Amino acid sequence: MTTPAEASAAGGWVGGWLSTARHCPSPNFGPRPEGAHIDLIVLHSISLPPGIYGGPEVEQLFSNQLDWQADPYFEQIRGIEVSAHFFVRRDGELVQFVDADARAWHAGASRWRGRENCNDDSIGIELEGLEGDRFEAAQYDTLARLCRQLALRYPVTHIAGHEHIAPGRKIDPGPGFDWPRLQSGLAEKKFVFPAEVAHRPPLDS
């Protein structure tokens, strides 16, 4: 068993679980393909019901415990089995659903870096939010810290949105996400961002 001191020395990791996150294990995962090179972070946004923040519904969805009759919107997603590795709430709280060594079900049909099936070699991070809405300062702080921690354990070099890896099918995290703010928070790390956001001005400029 890994001791707290050993976890700290490993950058806070106990296997593929980050010790600084609250753990809410999801059954929706599987093994990565042999030889998978985990070099991509995929950013998403989610809120359930859409535009409603702070409730337990996202965690319930990812753990297959959502009451499909609790809101009319849930009938549109009834029965889906999805997950992400991490979820960043509006107040900056970090929740982990899937061991980062494993394959979470977050990307769907996708392509990036000339590769198909981004679930195979990516880490999925959900931000509590709605496409087009702004995100909170605490979320950017947590996200930047998480990206740095992931880069300490995995050969992560690319960061993209769901909208970039599945264009025409997905639009998250959307125009309310401040890509320059994230880039500024990761200035000491050499990450590769999508060309269309690499030189975008900050949202408040």
Please give the positions annotated as active site.
Answer: 126
Contact (CB, 8 A) for 124 and 107? yes
Assigned token pair, 3: 């001791």
* Chain CA centroid to CA 146, Å: 10
Q: Report the C-alpha gap between 60 and 28 in whole angstroms.
A: 12
Q: How far apart are the first and last CA of the chain?
A: 49
Helix boundaries (H) for the chain: 4-9, 57-62, 137-153, 162-165, 179-185, 195-198
Q: Report the C-alpha gap between 76 and 79 in whole angstroms.
A: 9
Instruction: Break the chain down into helix, strand, coil percent, rounded to 5.
Output: 25, 20, 55
Q: Report the C-alpha gap between 24 and 95 in whole angstroms.
A: 7
Q: Report the C-alpha gap between 115 and 122 in whole angstroms.
A: 11
Contact (CB, 8 A) for 88 and 49? no
